[in-house]
Amino acid sequence: MGDVLLDAARSVQANAYAPYSGYSVGAALEADDGRVFVGANVENASYGLTICAERTAIAQAASHGVRLVRRIVVVTSSEPPAPPCGACRQVLLEFGPDATVESVGPRSRKTWRMRELLPDAFGREQLR
């Protein structure tokens, strides 16, 4: 049986809007209730306004009421596979502090726990 998240991330990667970098990324996440949400990166001529695939998927999920993510798969064309950027790590931590994060490139895959990617993170605990 195939990996539903990997297939979804690869599929949505084709929809990335990356006219400046040419670096297309697709992401698919599994919510705690099993629903799957996808996102692709969306670049902008004002580079700072670019939205990464991971944050697009989180926004999609949050817009449907998701508050907890179990797993996210990110597909890139780079080898080794690229991990999420710092901004994405912070957003992913908000919705999936114990989530599994998998980055998949053309030939290899890397897997982390969210807290490995952002140790000693600023989170909801600091705001209590």
Residues assigned a catalytic role: 54
What is the distance between the alpha carbons of residues 98 and 85, in angstroms, rounded to a whole number?
18
Reduced to 3 states, what is the DSSP secondary structure of residue 60? helix
Q: State the burial class of residue 2 (Cβ atoms within 10 Å of its Cβ: 0-12, 13-18, 19+).
A: exposed
